[in-house]
Amino acid sequence: MKQLRGFTYDEISIGQTASYSKLIGEQDIQMFSALSGDANPVHLDETFAATSMFGERIAHGMLTGAVVSAALAMELPGPGCLYLGQTLRFSCPVKIGDRITVQLEVIKKRDDKQFITMNCEVFNQDNELVASGESMVMASPEKLQIDRPPSPQFKLI
Amino acid sequence: MKQLRGFTYDEISIGQTASYSKLIGEQDIQMFSALSGDANPVHLDETFAATSMFGERIAHGMLTGAVVSAALAMELPGPGCLYLGQTLRFSCPVKIGDRITVQLEVIKKRDDKQFITMNCEVFNQDNELVASGESMVMASPEKLQIDRPPSPQFKLI
């Protein structure tokens, strides 16, 4: 079983970077709708979406937010971190079949509270910026050594 | 079939409010992990979570973000809107079995671009603030009349 490894507050330095990628597929759009209750036809209805400014269905903006969450939890600081806040500006739509990559860079450390601020940019496979903002987290105070919890699997019914 | 109804830019006024609720269940945590790839043990591993500052598993912060997305898409402005940006500060953990309610209030309209800014607060069933920030959206320019797309259903396998 894969071991999870994260960085403690002290192991993280200004300028440190990490990245995390995900291919956005049809099932992700459906799953985000099922999970959130967001049934906006710009994401789900082909005919409606054809009349919108993008001419086709696009992914939910906050699906990119979910991938940012995974970047923080799995890469930097990594497992055991706590999510304190996020700003996100959606600058370009994510389409079905796009591979998005979250790029994180530590820009601030606040020693008294052990808070870390990271610059957060998300690009598609054509290197277009799809979202940007800042991520605020608290790293695990102790070094984490734990097996990766099993990944839940879902099936569309 | 339920008809979707949204507000156009001109129908929205400063001070207008809306709310949207969701009960956060075990399956939502599992589904958010499956969707995003976020396998942080604070969400998935009971034994690890018992040693964390909250003493039990908590929901992913961005699961609250997903529910905010649904509030915008389903209530205000409603279907057909475009999500431009979000700020979120997570102030209190959401636990399994919590019912969270997103409360939106229009605070700014920018006529030249038809952008709308809303204050966004999310409370749990005990009226504790779990997250807060601002939502930036663009309302559909035309009145939307469309059947609600079928809600996808998923099963844990």
pLDDT in tens, B35-67: 999 999 899 989 989 988 899 999 999 999 999
HEC letters along A82-133: EEEEEEEEECCCCECCCEEEEEEEEEEEECCCCEEEEEEEEECCCCCEEEEE
Q: Do A37 and B146 touch (CB under 8 A)?
A: no
Q: Do B83 and A74 touch (CB under 8 A)?
A: no
Encoded amino acid at A41, one letter: P
pLDDT value at position A140? 84
The chain B residue lying nearest A6, using CA atoms, is B40
The ranges of chain A with pLDDT < 70 are 1
Q: Do A41 and B4 touch (CB under 8 A)?
A: yes
Q: Do B41 and A82 touch (CB under 8 A)?
A: no
Helix (H) or strand (E) holding A137: strand A129-138
The chain A residue lying nearest B154, using CA atoms, is A156
- Among A36, A43, A136, A146, the residue to mutate for chain B (most B Cβ within 10 A): A36
Q: Do B38 and A70 touch (CB under 8 A)?
A: yes
Helix (H) or strand (E) holding A73: helix A61-74
Size of interface A-B (CB pairs under 8 A): 198
Q: pTM of the predicted model, to two decimals? A: 0.95
Residue-level pLDDT, tens digit, chain B, 157 residues: 678 788 999 999 999 999 999 999 999 999 999 999 999 989 998 998 998 889 999 999 999 999 999 999 999 999 989 999 999 999 999 999 999 999 999 999 999 999 999 999 999 999 999 999 999 999 988 887 777 777 788 888 8
Q: Do A40 and B85 touch (CB under 8 A)?
A: no
- Among B32, B40, B144, the residue to mutate for chain A (most A Cβ within 10 A): B40
Q: Do A39 and B88 touch (CB under 8 A)?
A: no
pLDDT value at position A100? 98
pLDDT value at position A117? 98
State phi, psi for A156 to the nearest 5 degrees: -70, 130
Q: Which two tokens stand for residue A20?
A: 């995390």
**Shortest CA gap B148–chain A (Å):** 7
Q: What angle do CA B99, B157, B61 make, to 5 degrees?
A: 35
In sequence order, which residues have a C-beta less than 8 Å from that of residue B142 and are 6 or more positions away? B8, B80
pLDDT value at position B141? 81
Alpha-carbon distance B93 to A88, whole Å? 20
Q: Is the distance from CB of A29 to CB of A59 less than 8 angstroms?
A: yes
